[in-house]
Amino acid sequence: MPIRYLIKQLILPPGILFLLLLVAWWLRRSWPRVSALCFVLGLGGLWLMSLPVVVERSARLLETEPALSQAHWAQLAERADAIVILGAGRERGDPAWADVDQPTGVAMERMRYAAQLAKASGLPLLTSGGLHFGTPPSEAQLMADALQRDLGVTVRWQEGRSRTTWENARMTAEMLQPLGIKRVVVVTQAWHMQRSRWSFEQAGFEVVPAPVGFLGRDHARPFGGWLPESKSIWQSGQLLNEAVGLLGYRVFY
């Protein structure tokens, strides 16, 4: 896992862009033209990734599923049998929490939304997400604990073995389909929903998409989003990773 993670971080932006800048410095005397090209590509790529307007326009290509209408939350029980929340990592070592692992901010956004859907519809919840580098507890357990403790919602099932979206779907199917549950509300980020819906449909589910955390909207940033922001680099990285993952899933699965 660590080697795969290292390779992934190096070949996807912003890692590859920093490598281009390093190559540009290394070749600045022996190959000045190649050095200049690497510098322009590296710096230009980082600049584009830092622009909120680029994030918004890129996200619209991935965020194809519309948000659920709040007026229809109570009717979800007519369309599905359970709500599935996909994991989104964990935060480690925060002394404010006595160094106890916590769900990430992205995971909390999904959990808050799923909790509201569960309260409105009465549907049972399943959390899905495995171990982080093999270290317990699972993401599914962290989310279930936080949902109960912070949001007052009980999770009925925990799928704590999956490491990828594909495994989220397959292992959830192993738990729910023997119980006769084949219609699920899937809660994840809007930019992650295409791949999630496809994976769960391939696993035999009828999916009601419940996207949250839309990035492809006008967030009224100063100067129309053309000023660099550090947060945009992280968001751009997530979108690029998702685009690669979406293509890879269609090829390999």
Tens of pLDDT, residue by residue over 16-67, are 999 999 999 999 999 999 999 999 999 999 999 999 999 999 999 999 999 9
Q: Quick one: tokens of 89?
A: 């990592």
CA gap 20, 26 in Å, rounded: 10
C-alpha to C-alpha distance for 7 and 88, rounded to whole angstroms: 20
Q: What's the whole-model pTM score?
A: 0.93
Whether residue 184 has pLDDT greater than 90: yes
pLDDT in tens, 70-121: 999 999 999 999 999 999 999 998 999 999 999 999 999 999 999 999 999 9
Q: Are 74 and 55 in contact (CB under 8 A)?
A: no
143 and 103 Cβ atoms separated by less than 8 Å: yes
What does DSSP say about strands 183-189 and 82-86: parallel, antiparallel, or unpaired? parallel
Q: Which pLDDT does position 1 carry in this prediction?
A: 54
Say whether 154 sits in a helix, a strand or coil.
coil
Specify the higher pLDDT residue, 162 or 7. Answer: 162
pLDDT of residue 35: 97
Q: Which domains does the chain have, with CATH numbers?
A: 2-61+228-252 (no CATH), 66-212 (3.40.50.620)
Query: For the chain, what percent of residues have pLDDT higher than 70?
Result: 99
Place 226 in a pLDDT band, splitting at 50, 70 and 90.
very high
